[in-house]
């Protein structure tokens, strides 16, 4: 199989939003396809009609687009292939790999209950396999409702999983599973295998929760005479308490992270290291490095632990490192949401905005921190934090100092970091106070807050006029 062009698929069921585990599977599929110049296919497995919805499908596409996982083919809807899936079942019936089952669901349910009472697993007892051919014919002619079951051959099924290694399952443990329900609906196993054959999938990279399905699916490939793809089952993701990741551990939907102000770059980098390791200490990966470094061999057998602090760390790293042309488009919607955006920030004030962004990079943990922390630059009226005012601006004498400082700054020949610092120091000397006794109140007067970036950086970005005006409090 390995000489064929690589074709992989991500096959989510649209019964919920794209969650962290699904996104990580999609990322591994995408990385593998990119690494091998292969094709990344998106297939929406909407065969559970009652639980699937278009809204969820749209949500999955949006989340993948946001994550930057662009697919080359699809989205294909699995339900569109029902006829082909049914044809495959007919072929399996013809070739003797499958048989009709007329057992009423109530009877099966009763047997299942009896087995449970005996504390044993129920395995279909093959009653219908023993029906004589003319009896089957008669039942079908009487339009008796029939399911179709696969006839599991004796022996065992083995495969070499690219992550887990050799897996061998005895046929004893596999029941004659249903291929077609009595209502004519193909089951998951048939649809998946027929689609994977049809789409010429070479590598099935998916969550470890599917490993128990693989022996059945391999039996289907064999019975249909199709080449068997490479299987790679990637480990589960656990929460920090080592139980399966769930809502108890925080957001599990990928889009919730977008809403929290996480960058897709950070999410990708973080997800890549959930269950995969480059074999070095490197943690920070641009996409092209990740594609180069990625391999199925680097995927761990052990379950991965989701650590939200690590994601926060990656986000801060990417906020600090992304070039402006990539960061600003992420910030624009946040400034719009905060009601602070103006188009000049992309035109005549673009240089000013870039400086502002740089000022806040070291302080921002999520995208929303930028408008939140820099709000005072955009408003005409300062929103004062009362505690900061009480602490630093209550004293009329201090306000007098700030008015003097305003006069000095107004008269400076140049409004630079150096000249501002010199002006503050010399005024503090004259007044016999420490520079901090001027700078702390000045910060509150200008920003409304006791905590802000370096005072002189703020003054320069705010500009002389506004600085002087705000100091005359």
Closer residue to ligand GLU (CB): 35 or 210 = 210
* Shortest Å, Cβ 11 to ligand GLU: 4
Q: What track of x and - describes contact with ligand GLU for positions 244 through 273 (by CB under 6 A)?
A: ------------------------------
Under the binding rule (CB under 6 A), the answer on residue 192 touching ligand GLU is yes
Per CB under 6 A, which of residues 141..160 are in contact with ligand GLU? none
The interface region with ligand GLU, picked from 6-14, 140-148, 247-255, 308-316 by CB under 6 A, is: 6-14
Q: What are phi and psi of 37, to 5 degrees?
A: 50, 40
469: annotated active-site residue: no
Among candidate residues 15, 20, 41, the one with its CA nearest the CA of residue 205: 41
* Shortest Å, Cβ 132 to ligand GLU: 37
Give me the sheet containing 230-234, strands edge to edge: 73-77, 39-44, 7-10, 203-207, 230-234
Q: What track of x and - describes contact with ligand GLU for positions 197 through 216 (by CB under 6 A)?
A: ---------x---x------
Under the binding rule (CB under 6 A), the answer on residue 12 touching ligand GLU is yes
| Beta-strand pair 73-77/39-44 | parallel
Q: Please give the Cα distance from 362 to 377 (Å, whole number).
A: 17
User: What Å distances lie between residue 15 and 12, 30, 64, 153, 298, CA to CA?
Assistant: 9, 22, 16, 33, 30
Q: Please give the Cα distance from 340 to 334 (Å, whole number).
A: 9
Closer residue to ligand GLU (CB): 23 or 266 = 23
Q: What track of x and - describes contact with ligand GLU for positions 44 through 63 (by CB under 6 A)?
A: -x------------------
The answer to whether the beta carbons of residues 236 and 21 sit under 8 Å apart is yes
Closer residue to ligand GLU (CB): 11 or 174 = 11
User: What Å distances lie between residue 470 and 250, 343, 446, 454, 466, CA to CA?
Assistant: 42, 25, 5, 17, 6
Largest CA distance in the chain: 113
Q: Which residues touch 400 (CB under 8 Å, ≥6 apart)?
A: none
* Shortest Å, Cβ 465 to ligand GLU: 59
Closer residue to ligand GLU (CB): 213 or 307 = 213
- DSSP symbol at 143: T
* Shortest Å, Cβ 162 to ligand GLU: 14
How big is the site for ligand GLU, counted in residues (CB under 6 A)?
A: 7
User: What Å distances lie between residue 424 and 18, 108, 121, 164, 433, CA to CA?
Assistant: 54, 87, 82, 66, 11
The interface region with ligand GLU, picked from 10-18, 57-65, 333-341, 402-410 by CB under 6 A, is: 10-18
* Shortest Å, Cβ 25 to ligand GLU: 8
User: What Å distances lie between residue 70 and 21, 40, 75, 315, 326, CA to CA?
Assistant: 18, 8, 11, 21, 18
* Shortest Å, Cβ 209 to ligand GLU: 7
* Shortest Å, Cβ 245 to ligand GLU: 15
Q: Catalytic pick from 247, 337, 391, 394?
A: 247
Among 11, 18, 23, 157, binds ligand GLU (CB under 6 A): 11
Closer residue to ligand GLU (CB): 13 or 258 = 13
* Shortest Å, Cβ 71 to ligand GLU: 14
The interface region with ligand GLU, picked from 7-15, 109-117, 293-301, 360-368 by CB under 6 A, is: 7-15
Closer residue to ligand GLU (CB): 188 or 376 = 188
- Residue 234's SS3 state is strand
Sign, CA torsion 248/249/252/255? positive
Closer residue to ligand GLU (CB): 206 or 249 = 206
Among candidate residues 159, 202, 162, the one with its CA nearest the CA of residue 299: 162
Among candidate residues 114, 81, 266, the one with its CA nearest the CA of residue 192: 81
Binding residues for ligand GLU, per CB under 6 A?
Answer: 11-13, 45, 192, 206, 210
Catalytically active residues are 247
């Amino acid at each position: 199989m390995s000489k064929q062009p690589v074709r992989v698929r991500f096959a989510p069921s649209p019964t919920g939003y794209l969650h962290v585990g699904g996104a990580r599977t999609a990322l591994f599929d995408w990385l593998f396809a990119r690494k091998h110049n292969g094709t990344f296919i998106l297939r929406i497995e909407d065969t559970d009609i009652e639980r699937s919805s278009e809204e969820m499908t749209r949500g999955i596409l949006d989340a993948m687009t946001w994550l930057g996982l662009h697919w080359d083919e699809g989205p294909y809807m699995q339900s569109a292939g029902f006829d082909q899936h049914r044809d495959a079942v007919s072929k399996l019936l013809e070739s003797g790999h499958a048989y009709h089952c007329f057992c009423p669901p109530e009877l099966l349910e009763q047997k299942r209950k009896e087995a449970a009472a005996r504390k044993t697993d129920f395995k279909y007892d093959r009653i219908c396999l023993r029906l004589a051919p003319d009896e089957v014919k008669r039942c079908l002619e009487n339009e008796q409702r029939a399911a179709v079951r696969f006839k599991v051959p004796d022996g065992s099924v083995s495969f070499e999983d690219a992550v887990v290694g050799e897996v061998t399952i005895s046929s004893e443990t596999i029941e004659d599973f249903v291929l077609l329900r009595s209502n004519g609906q193909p089951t998951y196993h048939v649809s998946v295998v027929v689609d994977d054959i049809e789409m010429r999938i070479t590598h099935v990279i998916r969550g470890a929760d599917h490993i128990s399905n693989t022996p059945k699916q391999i039996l289907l490939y064999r019975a249909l005479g199709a080449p068997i793809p490479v299987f790679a089952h990637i480990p589960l993701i656990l929460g920090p308490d080592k139980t399966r990741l769930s809502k108890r551990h925080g957001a599990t939907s990928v889009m919730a992270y977008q809403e929290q102000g996480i960058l897709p770059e950070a999410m990708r980098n973080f997800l890549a290291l959930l269950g995969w390791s480059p074999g070095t200490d490197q943690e920070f990966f641009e996409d092209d490095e990740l594609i180069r470094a990625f391999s199925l061999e680097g995927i761990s057998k052990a379950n991965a632990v989701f650590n939200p602090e690590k994601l926060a760390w990656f986000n801060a790293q990417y906020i600090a490192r992304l070039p402006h042309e990539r960061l600003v488009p992420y910030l624009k919607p946040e400034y719009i949401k905060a009601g602070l955006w103006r188009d000049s920030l992309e035109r005549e004030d673009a240089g000013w905005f870039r400086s502002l962004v740089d000022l806040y990079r070291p302080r921002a943990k999520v995208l929303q921190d930028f408008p939140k922390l820099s709000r005072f630059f955009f408003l005409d009226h300062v929103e004062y934090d009362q505690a900061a005012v009480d602490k630093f601006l209550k004293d009329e004498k201090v306000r007098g100092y700030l008015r003097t400082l305003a006069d000095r700054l107004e008269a400076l020949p140049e409004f630079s970091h150096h000249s501002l610092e010199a002006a503050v120091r010399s005024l503090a000397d004259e007044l016999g106070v420490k520079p901090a006794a001027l700078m702390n109140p000045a910060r509150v007067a200008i920003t409304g807050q006791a905590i802000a970036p370096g005072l002189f950086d703020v003054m320069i970005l705010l500009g002389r006029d506004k600085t002087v005006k705000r100091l005359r409090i």
